[in-house]
Structure 1
């Protein structure tokens, strides 16, 4: 169960504490803040529950460049919950960024966050609503690593780009409200997999707060029809599913649900896993910001032409909520055609996978994406996009069954705003062998674990760990520069990720993708790539810890540098369930601490 984080995990920069009390009053008077307390504005407006779905605004590259201004804002609601949002200069929230391989992405990113602390009346806290530490000495954005409630940065989830400042560094880059717009400038690789990626904050200690509040957006690399020409000409629809604090936390369950025992809560007030598929969820969900709140789950509305084939690009941008999506007509699950996962077509870089795999449901842990073909229901029929219950374990949170989108048909239904090109030139043949056919140079084992700060009090703050086998668990240290793992660029490795805790975890690594080889020792037939995967929970009775085995691909030279791997349940990541990996140039000495350097086997 994701409990209140250990205070040791949230190291807050204290450079501003030297401002003397005698100087504070003079500074406040000079700024006028004593006489003008901040008033809340609806900067992060959201649609009403049950609204028609609108797709995010799109920003497309032109002549090989997508350049835009983007700002992040926050807002405190009357019920005490917080919202976060990305806005374009003309007020469009969380635009979808669309680029082609080889394009340049340039974002002039402005941090417009304000202090949302409303614990005391405004007259007693005249700095509320103003940037914290505006008189501090200027720090180097690329090196400060500052972690405060109003610091932020950007991570481009899934892209294989250098993990350096101004591109995709999340370890040291920290942008403050009084900084000038910060320029992110990165080049999409020529061989980038075409598919769905996303951008979000990745500030250690505050990732969950900002993402849960809504700070996220889709990023699409064009050309998926080149990997599968049968997709050419299809209309495409972007659906971003986010979680948020419950709108109606005190409401009784819907009468349509079976009678449940009273919900048990963890220290964060999140609902514990009921194990039944029903009951109060830990978080509400939204689709393209249309809330679908507990207890009645009024779905967002979508209209399609009868029988129309569309490509849906679906992102689970939740901070902590697992999804298991299904499309129902009546009560019957429909077949959907998966064509891509986590930004990579199923058939890519020599993968032996079919280009389309037909399934009747698809699991998406936090951070994961799926692209699939759907067909509109027959004329007169109605359909529902739902998420089925996900069993997150005895210590997990409650992710029950619920509706998300109600789909009706009309011959006059409007088209989605984007359509794939009608003609597709096939992608060139990959020069590298399929990673699944490459023998790993070594095998490593890592494990997830948790521990209450006070072993005698299971409800005390929880420490979260991700540890290399044979080492003592310790939370991620943001102040350290020592990598937990060192890998040589060009190598292929197998990683075994064990789960020694009693809740589901969600492994993710930056800058690269991997192939899932086996699930708790049982081989799986998944000849395609991911960047996020569930690791099943330990129930206390198993003879060995559950695990996954992953074929890790470090062959791309763009990933040389230092980046992170972690649980993408952001409450766990913020709490210390993260490690640092350094990829060194190919001509550097071998990697550190393998289980078996000779055969790459256990």
Structure 2
């Protein structure tokens, strides 16, 4: 395999004692600047709007104007979102790409851009979304039976029918609120109304399509966006009547002059677009054969050395090949595989851009909001100082890499070497939209060597670069033990088989920082907030964020242990040994009570997600040969170091989770995750499912209903009690 880099890259490598790979023809590097996700066009309100906390994003403005708009009137936020088949391009650094580095695609999208528009609200807002489904009523995936070329699993299909799920929001799951049991058909529109309570936590959330049967296809197509709940509630001291007043960490994230901490949003998407050979009027329908470097990939492909595991390409269409532009239309070929993202050659995008360049000054504390909006592949986030061969070398100018992921492997491994001395720590302040009780250092070369992001996860970090230089934002390769094929370290799993460069980070200007970066951040926060009581400021100096955490501990359970076991017995994808049935309520629980849950996975790892209410990770255990369940945590809540090496490796994803609140969690095969949830405030029917979304579509989901009173007639629903008085 040839490693392809441009001529300028030779200058960077010339000082290395490594073999220089063959060069492409001279070609200037193509730099794609970082951009924020798009924003909807603001419409002037008819009445004074509530004071809003949007931070300036003009320096990183999106290049796409989404189809829709937003208007704010007091506490009411009105947005129009068009769900369309958007035409745009995705940059592709593979020099074999016939489109010259920009692949045209046509994908289902909120607003027609390569990432959905960011929605911003405040606690107490009512978010009205008029969702207009502009997709075609002509939908081969809706045919019964499905066309032979699609061969869809039971329950999968109707890719043009959709809805909206506000992932992580604590709001009603019924009516026209966060109701994923709705189906919004093509050429129709629907008025959503999301009533966000006044006591809702501020944080990073997201929205995506969640119509069962089409969820994976639409999210893989990019039908997702970031939803930020901004907070302006300052810290107030506790009282006997209110021992833990609600406060927002947003209010302390500023410098000594009051300037808000700069922030960047990272919507991480894994869009498996492919170009199909669509012969007119072909038997079995369209979307049957994908172009690869080794021929056409179809459902009949079985040779592991052939198109089954070959990178995908997009040839220019000719009268002979009938090549389409990039599309997502075949569930089995493009999504329904644990290894497809590892082999197709596509890149994880940042706000729709492949390997953008982030430019920022040294010494500046920034807040980065990460959202994993992919459907089933782990992202192991690391920030690494580039190992450049000479002083003054510029990673961005001299190393805009060419090649697909495998072709870039050698260059990434040479330039972005992750060691305890090159890793730049990430200081996590929130997970899944909820502020942590303590600042968590990630990427220090120890147990928390990576910021493990699973589909559905969010991670808010504070980050500071001590000095000028070039850095790599990496999706680090997973160790072989965490791959589908451990012997070869390939085949999908908890991260890519080869490291992927997600973004270049170019640090210039500002001022250098000496000493420990965590101490620098903690001292900066304490110094910038002199209004806080001294005891609270002293806590900040030790990383204590509990005054701003919305939850400290959830109440003890009210009932017996609940279970959610994910398993596969092909072709069945099941929760608690049952395939999803939309007409069955599998679990009924009572509002304002809590449960302990035991989460397990068989055969391969899965990802537990429950709508409406978050949960607290109480413990993670594994089964020893003697049949005993053993906790991975010591008495202080840290990962144990006295376990076998293979267990220490597997437990790393959980090391920062002890008694942490989340709404989505990875369940490792052979491990048990012990979680506690509180069914606060809202009644109604919603879902629990695997957030590997092709698994969810294939049946790995169940319905749970929260009712007013388990012991009342009809569980407190309806008017059954009236029959006794009116015989």
TM-score by length of structure 2 reads 0.57
Q: 1:170 to 1:451 in 2, by over 3 A?
A: same
Q: 1:159 to 1:431 in 2, by over 3 A?
A: closer
Structure 1 residue 574: Cα displacement: 0.2
Work out whether residues 335 and 694 of structure 2, in 8 Å CA contact, stay in contact via their aligned partners in 1.
no
Counterpart CA distance in 2 for 1:439 and 1:346 is 22
Work out whether residues 371 and 457 of structure 2, in 8 Å CA contact, stay in contact via their aligned partners in 1.
yes
How does 1:85-100 map onto structure 2 within 5 Å? Answer: 85-87=109-111, 94-100=116-122
The counterpart of 1:177, out of the listed 180, 186, 198, is 186
Q: 1:271 to 1:188 in 2, by over 3 A?
A: closer
Q: 1:197 to 1:590 in 2, by over 3 A?
A: farther
Q: 1:535 to 1:317 in 2, by over 3 A?
A: same
Work out whether residues 242 and 289 of structure 1, in 8 Å CA contact, stay in contact via their aligned partners in 2.
yes
Instruction: Provide the secondary structure at the position in 2 that maps to 1:113.
Output: coil
Answer yes or no: is 1:165 the counterpart of 2:175. Answer: yes
Answer yes or no: is 1:483 the counterpart of 2:573. Answer: no
Q: 1:246 to 1:403 in 2, by over 3 A?
A: farther
Instruction: Provide the secondary structure at the position in 1 that maps to 2:661.
Output: coil
Counterpart CA distance in 1 for 2:173 and 2:364 is 41
Answer yes or no: is 1:370 the counterpart of 2:459. Answer: yes
Q: 1:590 to 1:192 in 2, by over 3 A?
A: farther
Instruction: Provide the secondary structure at the position in 1 that maps to 2:207.
Output: strand
The counterpart of 1:505, out of the listed 591, 601, 606, is 606
Spell out, residue by residue over 1:269-294, the C-alpha distance to the aligned partner (whole angstroms, 9 max, x if none): 6697689xx96357531110013xxx
Structure 1 residue 187: Cα displacement: 1.4
The counterpart of 2:80, out of the listed 69, 73, 78, is 69
Counterpart CA distance in 2 for 1:178 and 1:511 is 29
Instruction: Provide the secondary structure at the position in 1 that maps to 2:696.
Output: helix
Instruction: Provide the secondary structure at the position in 1 that maps to 2:581.
Output: coil
Q: Counterpart of 1:597?
A: none
Structure 1 residue 113: Cα displacement: 1.1
Q: Counterpart of 1:103?
A: 125
Q: Counterpart of 2:292?
A: 250
Q: Counterpart of 2:35?
A: 54
Q: Counterpart of 2:698?
A: 575
Unaligned runs of 5+ in 1: 1-47, 120-144, 253-259, 292-298, 348-353, 414-419, 453-461, 468-472, 538-544, 593-602
Counterpart CA distance in 1 for 2:87 and 2:74 is 40
Q: Counterpart of 1:193?
A: 201
Work out whether residues 483 and 582 of structure 1, in 8 Å CA contact, stay in contact via their aligned partners in 2.
yes
Q: Counterpart of 2:501?
A: 403
**More displaced 10-residue stretch of structure 1: 73-82 or 199-208:** 73-82
Work out whether residues 58 and 96 of structure 1, in 8 Å CA contact, stay in contact via their aligned partners in 2.
yes
Spell out, residue by residue over 1:302-347, the C-alpha distance to the aligned partner (whole angstroms, 9 max, x if none): 1111222100011000022211111111232111110000010013
Q: 1:272 to 1:262 in 2, by over 3 A?
A: farther
Spell out, residue by residue over 1:234-293, the C-alpha distance to the aligned partner (whole angstroms, 9 max, x if none): 1111110001115697359xxxxxxx9879659636697689xx96357531110013xx
Work out whether residues 392 and 504 of structure 1, in 8 Å CA contact, stay in contact via their aligned partners in 2.
no
Q: 1:586 to 1:58 in 2, by over 3 A?
A: farther
Counterpart CA distance in 2 for 1:169 and 1:515 is 24
**Number of residue pairs matched?**
460
Structure 1 residue 300: Cα displacement: 1.5
Structure 1 residue 547: Cα displacement: 1.8
TM-score by length of structure 1 reads 0.68
The counterpart of 2:560, out of the listed 442, 451, 465, is 442
Counterpart CA distance in 2 for 1:498 and 1:393 is 18
Counterpart CA distance in 2 for 1:239 and 1:407 is 13
Q: Counterpart of 1:492?
A: 594
Larger radius of gyration: 2
Q: 1:485 to 1:436 in 2, by over 3 A?
A: same
Q: Counterpart of 2:221?
A: 213
Q: 1:263 to 1:309 in 2, by over 3 A?
A: farther
Q: 1:198 to 1:243 in 2, by over 3 A?
A: same
Answer yes or no: is 1:240 the counterpart of 2:267. Answer: yes
Which of structures 1 and 2 has the larger relative contact order (alpha carbons within 8 angstroms, sep 6+)?
A: 1
Counterpart CA distance in 2 for 1:451 and 1:366 is 23
The counterpart of 2:573, out of the listed 440, 457, 464, is 464
Q: Counterpart of 1:268?
A: 333
Work out whether residues 592 and 681 of structure 2, in 8 Å CA contact, stay in contact via their aligned partners in 1.
yes
Structure 1 residue 531: Cα displacement: 0.5
Answer yes or no: is 1:534 the counterpart of 2:597. Answer: no
Spell out, residue by residue over 1:446-490, the C-alpha distance to the aligned partner (whole angstroms, 9 max, x if none): 2111122xxxxxxxxx321011xxxxx231012x1x311111111
Work out whether residues 244 and 283 of structure 1, in 8 Å CA contact, stay in contact via their aligned partners in 2.
yes
How does 1:135-150 map onto structure 2 within 5 Å? Answer: 148-150=158-160
How does 1:27-38 map onto structure 2 within 5 Å? Answer: none
Structure 1 residue 358: Cα displacement: 4.6
**More displaced 10-residue stretch of structure 1: 281-290 or 215-224:** 281-290
Query: Which structure features the higher share of helix residues?
Result: 2
Structure 1 residue 377: Cα displacement: 5.5
Work out whether residues 147 and 203 of structure 1, in 8 Å CA contact, stay in contact via their aligned partners in 2.
no
Counterpart CA distance in 1 for 2:567 and 2:345 is 21
Counterpart CA distance in 1 for 2:30 and 2:190 is 35
Counterpart CA distance in 1 for 2:267 and 2:549 is 34
Work out whether residues 608 and 690 of structure 2, in 8 Å CA contact, stay in contact via their aligned partners in 1.
yes
Counterpart CA distance in 1 for 2:348 and 2:553 is 36
Work out whether residues 447 and 498 of structure 1, in 8 Å CA contact, stay in contact via their aligned partners in 2.
yes
Work out whether residues 393 and 504 of structure 1, in 8 Å CA contact, stay in contact via their aligned partners in 2.
no
